[in-house]
Structure 1
Amino acid sequence: MTGTPGSRTPRPASSPSSSPSQSSSSSSPEIEQLRRWLEVWWPDLLAGLLVLFAAFVEWNSVYGYYLPPSVLAAPALAMALAVVLTRQRPAWALGVLWALGLFQFTYGNQIMLVQLSIMYVAFGVARWGRPVTVWLSLISVPLAALGGLAYIEVFGDGVVFQLGGRFPGFVGTWAGQFGYRLMAMLVIAVILLLPWLIGLAVRLGVRASASDARASASDASREMAEADAARAQLESEQAREIAALREEQARLAADVHDVVGHSLAVILAQAESAQFLDDDPVVLKQTMTTIAASARTSLQDIRQVLAGAQQASAMATAGSFRELVDGVRASGHQVMVTEVGQPRPMPPELEVVAHRVVQEMLTNAIKHGRREQPLSVERHWPEGPYAHDLRIEVRNVAATRLADTQPLDLVSPRDTGGQGLGGMRRRLEAVGGKLDVRTRDEPEGPTFTVTAWLPVSGR
């Protein structure tokens, strides 16, 4: 019983390292390859076996009493091989048929009914063959008809009548009426051409279905791409809207900071100065009136800021510079104003920037300057063909001792995200200007200088 599929051979004790699992794993690739091969070829192998079985039945029922099996082996085996190769190797199947035809024509071998399986081969070559194979199979149809006619002429009329005797009687009647040669050519042409046309129709139908599927997939992909593009555009618009809102919030916060900071600084200075006034009701009343006016102006400015950019630009007119200076003077600070050059009107956006920058400069001077020392405010308007910037400079003597002359870093940890000097710098840079802040030791004391350049002429 050795050698049967289920038997096992005992392994020597001297080789304990060789286990059954290792042996099975070593042969698993071949088994897996055989399994995949059978999955592909088993329908074709089954069709080939059916052809061989039909050939055996035909020999046993028709030829067995006068022809040995060896005479019919060639056509039976050749047809079975052609059927097996039709689906996977259509060109080889066509070649086997041509080889069988040449063999039968050369040696006058008997034609069998099982050779009608050539119809399946004709169908398969048109269905699965490459374009070259399809064209060769089409050319083979008239050549096979002519070959059949030549076979009849060489080996006699008996071949046709011998085959005709196995069909219904009307086939022989047709052969007698139209001539057996023409009838044989028509039968061969129909046997080969009809399944070939069916195979070609199935081939084109499958290809059309695949094209429709690809077109549907392409349409679906295009729709998904369009949906993604629309979603990306929507997200981009939303991001721009959010950025615009944040920018507007930052601008609003900066404006409110400048207005409130300046007004509170002026009000605080006026309130502190009231502590040193004599008990003169008139002077005290005038001071309180000034404080109320500053508060009222601050409230009005905040309302204009919240109302929008149009009213804010209307507020920042040419006369607003004088109003800022007068408000600081009313708080008890001395302000020395120097105007160099010819003042000129500016666009509304530059008017707003200039107003806010001067406002913040004066606020810082009031907060950090010495009250008994005057503030110096200079505006230098551009003159000449090469001058384009309005230079605004505010100087004040600081209350504390400063280091040697040096520029100050506007981006410090305390200023990150704030509005003061950093806010002034951002305002100026937004319109093409710049800001410089320096400390100096001067004879009158440590001086804090803020200088801004604002482009007021086209470059």
Structure 2
Amino acid sequence: MRDVPAWQRWAPDAAAGVATLALGIVEVHGNIYLDDERPAAYLLVLAVAVGVGLSRALPAAALAAAWFAGVVQVTSGVGALLVEVLLAVVAFGCARWGSAVTVWLSALSMPLGAIIAVLWLDSDLVYRALEIVGVRMLAETAYRGGDWRIPASLLIFALLATPWLLGLALRFLDRARSSRVSQVEAEAERDQAEEIARLQESQARLARDVHDVVGHSLAVILAQAESAQYLPDDDPAAHTAALKRTMANIATSARTSLQDVRQVLSAPAGAPAAGQHGDLEALVEGVRASGHEVVSTEVGAPRPLPPELEVVAYRVLQEMLTNAIRHGRRGEPVRVERHWEGELRLEVRNVVGDAATTEEETRPLARVDPAELAAQAGVGHGLEGMRRRLEAVGGRLDVRRREEPGGATFTATAWVPLRAGR
């Protein structure tokens, strides 16, 4: 409606007002009972026409015009006119499009106007008015001097109240329709927000999986490549054989990483990647193959886990070992413990390298917040990913720095709740 010119929006209302004015003029001109009151009758007709024309655009002004017509009629003595029936249009417009104040004022105006009308009219005027509108039974009652005031007031009230109630009903129907549209839009926005949240969570899960797989593999490959620098070269044959083994290990690690990345990228959304509890030992062996000394301890009998817990345990230990390789001091063993009693507890401890050592590491037995530790060690994404994975299955993560005689140590401990696998 914004693009429609103003004159087009006003045209139907203006046409209704002009038609009302024309009908009223014709009625007044042909009314033989109007002599001296004819100018006042034309003014009354004009007020009714203005009220009809403004009933949609300006309901409050239309109501004022209707009251003005009533005042003119009472003060001038003009009898009832047929065109006044169109005041029902004003009553409809006030209830349909008026403000709350206009609706209440129009509701009060109907009984008040009916009372004033019957008090002002005499029996002859009532007879003529009722005869005009075709209510002959009531007209005869008025002509004979019967009790006409109550039926007349009820008739006038009904002529105004019926369109008023219709307008009010349409008003409430529009509100209900608008409410339904708003509800549908709100539900669509909520569904869209939920879909965006699901996509973001899926992207975050994919990023964590790729980070874990690629980060671990690159750390192992880097460690293996660096270990080649320290191969003894006094025996060329032994040096060549050791170098070939190192290159084979690098190729195996790269091939495994590529397979894992393909598996992560091809897995359906929300589907866990493959992983068995035996793979935990394979992770440890992969770190050993990179040239790092690993002391592995396993307490209790390994149990089969549901797929989602297998993935969590695998990825968490993978990230722990990655951090140990990246930030551990070369030549110092990485200690790995797996406890299967009550719940699966994974613990990886290593001596921190000189470059990663800070003053904060001198706090003995102090628990370090993962976010704070991320800023110190540069491994925030991995720690945050571990924490989210564990919390999603009811587990928890603990990260500590300790100052020990052999140097500062980094200990990461994860608890994974055990549930029987299917």
TM-score past 0.5 threshold = yes
Task: Give 1:419's match in structure 2, choosing from 381, 384, 408.
Answer: 381
Q: Which residue of 2 aligns with 1:117?
A: 125
| 1:219 aligned onto 2:195 | no
Q: Which of 360, 368, 379 matches 1:408?
A: 368
Amino acid at match of 2:228: A
Structure 2: gaps spanning 5 or more residues: 1-64, 81-109
After superposition, give the CA deviation of every residue in 1:337-379 in whole Å (9 maximum; x if it has no partner).
1111121111111111111100000000001111211110001
Counterparts of 1:194 and 1:445, CA distance in 2: 111
Residue 101 (structure 2) aligns with: none
Contact kept in structure 2, 1:338 and 1:377, CA below 8 Å: yes
**Structure 1 residues 46 and 369: CA distance shift in structure 2, 3 A:** same
- Between structure 1 and structure 2, the one with the greater Rg is 1
Aligned position for 1:331:
290
Instruction: Kindly report which structure 2 residues correspond to 1:278-427, keeping only aligned pairs within 5 A, or say none.
Output: 278=233, 279=236, 280-308=239-267, 313-382=272-341, 387=342, 389-400=343-354, 401=357, 402-405=361-364, 406-412=366-372, 414=375, 418-427=380-389
Give distance in 2, aligned partners of 1:297 and 1:90. 93
Report the Cα offset of residue 43 of structure 1.
Answer: 2.3
The Cα of 1:42 is off from its aligned counterpart by 2.1
When residues 422 and 93 of structure 1 are mapped into structure 2, their CA distance, relative to the original with a 3 A threshold, is closer
In structure 2, the CA distance between the partners of 1:96 and 1:249, relative to structure 1 (3 Å rule), is closer
The answer to whether the 8 Å contact 2:114/2:156 transfers is no
1:354–1:454: 8 Å Cα contact kept in structure 2? yes
How far did residue 119 of structure 1 move?
Answer: 3.1
1:316–1:352 CA contact under 8 A, matched in 2 = yes
Counterpart contact for 2:123–2:145, Cα < 8 Å: no
Matching of residues 176-215 of structure 1 within 5 Å: 200-201=154-155, 203-215=157-169
Q: Does the CA contact (< 8 Å) of 1:436 and 1:450 recur in 2? A: yes
Q: 1:240 to 1:311 in 2, by over 3 A?
A: closer
1:275 aligns with 2:229: yes
Of structures 1 and 2, the one with the larger relative CO (CA 8 A, separation 6+) is 2
Cα separation, 1, equivalents of 2:250 and 2:141:
121
Q: Give the Cα separation in 1 of the matches to 2:76 and 2:379.
A: 83
- Structure 1 position 318, deviation (Å): 1.7
CA distance in 2, matches of 1:118, 1:201: 12
The size of the alignment, in residue pairs, is 311
Corresponding residue of 1:45: 75
CA distance in structure 1 between the partners assigned to 2:397 and 2:141 by the alignment? 103
Report sequence identity in percent: 47
Query: Residues 138-153 of structure 1 correspond to what in structure 2 (within 5 A)?
Result: none
In structure 2, do the counterparts of structure 1 residues 441 and 326 end up closer, same or farther at CA, with 3 Å as the change threshold?
same
Give distance in 2, aligned partners of 1:198 and 1:188: 9
Contact 2:141–2:148 (8 Å) recurs in 1:
no
1:105-151 C-alpha deviation (Å, 9 max, x unpaired)? xxxxxxxxx9623536989xxx9xxxxxxxxxx9xx9xxxxxxxxxx
C-alpha root-mean-square deviation of aligned residues, in Å?
3.8
Correspondences of 1:244-263 after superposition (within 5 Å) = 244-263=198-217
What letter matches 2:416 in structure 1? L
By how many angstroms is 1:94 displaced? Answer: 5.9
- How far off is 1:444 after superposition? 2.8
Q: Relative to structure 1, is the Cα distance of residues 89 and 348 closer, same or farther in structure 2, using a 3 angstrom cutoff?
A: closer
Residue of structure 1 equivalent to 2:38: none
In structure 2, the residue corresponding to 1:332 is in which secondary structure?
A: coil
- Distance change in 2, residues 1:309/1:343 (3 Å): farther
Aligned-residue offset at 1:445 = 2.5
C-alpha spacing 1:312/1:224, structure 2 compared with 1 (3 Å): closer
Moved more, 361-370 or 421-430: 421-430
CA deviation profile, 1:241-286 (whole Å, cap 9, x unmatched)? 1001001111111111111110010000000011122342222111
Q: Write the distance in 2 (CA, Å) between the matches of 1:87 and 1:404.
A: 87
TM-score, normalization by structure 2? 0.64
Structure 1 residue 311 displacement after superposition = 10
